[in-house]
Structure 1
Amino acid sequence: MSNFLPNELIDRLRKEQDFDHEAFVDTHEKGDRITSIRLNPRKHALLDIALLDPVPWCSKAYYLGERPVFTLDPLYHAGCYYVQEASSMFLGHIIRTLGLENAAIRALDLCAAPGGKSTLINAYLGDKSLLVSNEVIKTRVGILEDNMNRWGMHNVVVTNNDPSSFSRLPGYFDLMVVDAPCSGSGMFRKDPDAIDEWSLANVKLCSDRQKRILAESISTLVTGGYLIYSTCSYSTEENEDILDWIAHEYGFSSVELPLDDSWGIQPTQSSEMSAHGYRFYPHQLQGEGFFVGVMKKTEAQETFSRKKAKPEKSAVPKQALADWLLPNAALYAFMHGDDVHIFPKRYEEDLKWLQRVLYIRNAGTNIGKWIGRELLPSHELALSVFVKSDLKSQEVPLSVAQEFLRKDNLDRDIFVDVGNGWCLVRYYGVNLGWVKVLANRVNNYYPKESRIVHL
């Protein structure tokens, strides 16, 4: 028996068929830390990080031999990769199995902060889809917005709403991902402090919360749409029992996923409806504890009236786009105050529907402020995959890149060849942000709230 893992948890797991509780306990007592990253497929750079084996169930994802100080890597701040726990990257295998990769669908990540699953969803779905990334907790939505901005895509809407708000969009989303708040037993190796907060009472509390979240939002899925439900818990009440409840109460069927035996993922089935679930145990694979199941909406779901609004003439000057953005990107541009945003043209009507019922933190990419007859470019624009590649730029070494990220004053001589005006600071060919080069100084426009405070 473990000296620190909850006895109630161990006793429950020992009852599972073929469960090796000694190996499970030993893995936690060793406390090995496994680090993995997932590359941004739209931002190619030569990483100064030693990549080891690929994560087998997710493309462009790798384990690292050691955990570097990511804060010191400019390419991390540029959105070239995302640091994500390997087990949760199984979402990529699910999207591919469902035939949704590069599909033109509407997707919702209901509990999205800090953004790992949203960046993964966005990478797999591509630029033909629309992704709504929602976070309930107001204090966490800022980091979600920052991470989506780093990712650089314009087809994302970041929202800050209670799950019940999405019941006002019945039959709208084709895919809904709910990584539900849970009792956290799957994170015990990564975060031993979480052990002190675990109890059977908390498991029951989390199970009730998960049902509330789903009950208040599940009608937003279209008939035939998919729900991907996951937790970082080992408790049946939060996992297989929830799949049973979804199937019984809301007319869903379970989706079985193909597995490679070498992955070490444990398939399970719920007791009542035989719904398929997938358990990740840290003694069987390179990842933390995780559970996921996929359900398909089979009962008919009514939707809302989708009357098209009268087209509005864009107030955005065409020159504001032509001077800064790649041509032929099928963009819809709109003003929000003085800010210019770009959004996929195909989802222009969708944005209006979302604005009617949700609190939107950010929509698309804010490319800057329109001041009189010129654009004051934003940091989001610098990180966007749609920023023009032939804009004035300066490649800098690591030391200067870190000075820029600290928002320090930069030496004017570094920019002697680019002339005066707006200039992109680049590291390994990837944009980090803007400076404005003047006759006798360089103004650093890296966002104050994002700067590196300590090196």
Structure 2
Amino acid sequence: MNEVFLKRMKGLLQEDYEKYLETLAKKPYRGFRVNTKKISEEDFFNLFKIPSHRSKFAMHSYVLDSDDGYGNSLPHALGLMYMQEPSAASAVEVLNPRPMDWVLDLCAAPGGKSTQIAQYLDSEGLLITNEIETKRAQILLSNIERLGISNAIVTNSTPEKLSFVLQGMMDKVLVDAPCSGEGMFKKESKALEDWSEEHVKSCAKRQRSILPHAIKMLKDDGILVYSTCTYAVEENEENVAWMLEEFKELELLNIDVTWGRKGLHLDGFPTEYTRRILPMDEGEGHFVAKFRKKGITKENKLTILKSELLPDCVKQFIKSELKGDYNYFCKNNRVYAGSHPFYDLKDNYVLRNQVLIGEVVNNRFEPHQHLYTSTLFTNNINHEIICEENEIESFRKGNILSIPTTKGYVGIKIYNNYIGFGKSDGSIIKNKVPKGLRLR
């Protein structure tokens, strides 16, 4: 372990330092969330016997008693669970999204906090989830799809570009900022390899470049939660003090919870209102601060995108395969559906606007995996088959299913959720699950 880092931790923790050293020899805490958009907690644990106990940091969050590789498990593939270090769930619990809110997750990949936010929103709420790094944005999109999120716009943009369009529009904003990752050292060796005091200072500077844009996007009386997975004062309490000094419209709110411990007090600022989680608290490490924006803010209005006309093959598919009424949007032969209008985010690159249901190829409509995984359509697809676990495991490996059914596209379902879809010729079902999602 880096000696400079340990010296800093000794100064930070003082009488708790020896307890922290003891945690370094232990395995990292691992956990998961039950995705209540797809299944109740009671039904989940009736179906899947996963040794775990409830986490203190958030609803629907659990600490694993043993880690047996649940990332490849059936409930994971179905989007019924999300693997998440326990303390990482604390920030969204503090943000407390409500069903009608418009919420922005500004630094969102890989998607743990975004999918957690979505659990708090009903179809009236809207999630905008952004990741600036392109490869990580694709991982974010994959998790949005797998967990069935339908009322989300996934963007791959900069905070500055987003704030130009979304000024004064968001009820709540989460900035889970890129950081030095001191709480990740046991899980990711690279975080330790990259660590230095210079890196800590660089991260703090980067965080200060992001936060003004987040503040700009808040409505009057809107809530901002700033979080990191590091212990460094420069990235935590000192950034909170900087925000209070630079942005007089911000009020730091006391996080009144039983978990973790108070933040460090800095003279002149109520930074003890923040919350720290350390490995001694049954989590690898997180810092959370909560602000309210006061005063008058100019509020933008979004325009609605104009759809291309739906091709006849799309209209026919919708009529024969889907139940219910939705908003549809078509562009460049790709067809999307959702409960919200399709808003124009101008120069921001949008990876996904609500649910991609499919695309037109050679005058034929081909459905997309998101149509079947989305909770918007869980019980609203006309053609489906219910399978047993052994059939599903075979299907996950890319195999065909020898099950007679109606010709055409069919959803493959188990435990009231789709694993994906196939195309039947009447006697067998060819596998249409994307190759990247299949078991290897």
TM-score, structure 1 as length reference: 0.87
Superposed CA offset, 1:159-196 (max 9, x none): 00112112312212121111111111111222344222
Matched, 1:332 2:327: yes
Change (3 A) 1:310 1:50: closer
Tell me how far 1:84 sits from its aligned partner: 0.7
* 1:55–1:61 CA contact under 8 A, matched in 2: yes
Aligned partner of 2:386: which letter? E
Superposed CA offset, 1:299-332 (max 9, x none): 432233x38669779637665445444425xx32
SS in 2 for 1:20: helix
Partner of 2:414: 427
Measured in 1, the distance between the counterparts of 2:398 and 2:302 equals 47
Structure 2: which 5+ runs fail to align?
none
Partner of 1:256: 254
SS in 2 for 1:407: coil
Structure 1: which 5+ runs fail to align?
none
* 2:227–2:289 CA contact under 8 A, matched in 1: yes
Partner of 1:129: 125
Partner of 1:173: 170
Matched, 1:246 2:243: yes
Matched, 1:145 2:141: yes
SS in 1 for 2:172: strand
Tell me how far 1:432 sits from its aligned partner: 0.5
2:234 pairs with one of 237, 248, 268: 237
The answer to which of 82-91 and 294-303 deviates more is 294-303
Matched, 1:8 2:4: yes
Tell me how far 1:82 sits from its aligned partner: 0.6
Partner of 1:442: 429
Measured in 1, the distance between the counterparts of 2:136 and 2:373 equals 21
Change (3 A) 1:439 1:111: same
Partner of 1:367: 357
The answer to which of 392-401 and 289-298 deviates more is 392-401
Superposed CA offset, 1:349-374 (max 9, x none): xx12x2x1311011000112256887
Superposed CA offset, 1:107-141 (max 9, x none): 11111010000001111123221111100001111
Partner of 2:339: 344
Partner of 1:76: 76
* 1:87–1:287 CA contact under 8 A, matched in 2: yes
Partner of 1:34: 29
Measured in 1, the distance between the counterparts of 2:393 and 2:161 equals 41
Tell me how far 1:62 sits from its aligned partner: 1.4
SS in 1 for 2:412: strand
SS in 2 for 1:68: coil
Superposed CA offset, 1:382-426 (max 9, x none): 101122456333333333322222223x242xx13x343322222
- RMSD value, Cα: 2.5
Measured in 2, the distance between the counterparts of 1:298 and 1:182 equals 27
1:195 pairs with one of 192, 196, 206: 192
Measured in 2, the distance between the counterparts of 1:148 and 1:451 equals 17
* 1:270–1:277 CA contact under 8 A, matched in 2: no
Tell me how far 1:441 sits from its aligned partner: 4.0
Measured in 2, the distance between the counterparts of 1:53 and 1:309 equals 45
Measured in 2, the distance between the counterparts of 1:439 and 1:307 equals 46
Aligned partner of 1:435: which letter? G
2:202 pairs with one of 182, 200, 205: 205
Change (3 A) 1:126 1:358: same
* 1:396–1:426 CA contact under 8 A, matched in 2: yes
Superposed CA offset, 1:14-73 (max 9, x none): 334764100101101x23232211111121254424242211231122122211223432
TM-score, structure 2 as length reference: 0.90
Superposition pairs of residues 13-412 of structure 1, within 5 angstroms: 13-16=9-12, 19-28=15-24, 30-44=25-39, 46=44, 47-96=47-96, 100-102=97-99, 104-169=100-165, 170-251=167-248, 252-260=250-258, 263-275=259-271, 276-283=273-280, 285-304=281-300, 306=301, 315=310, 320-327=317-324, 331-345=326-340, 347-348=341-342, 351-352=343-344, 354=345, 356-370=346-360, 375-387=365-377, 388-389=379-380, 391-408=382-399, 410-412=400-402
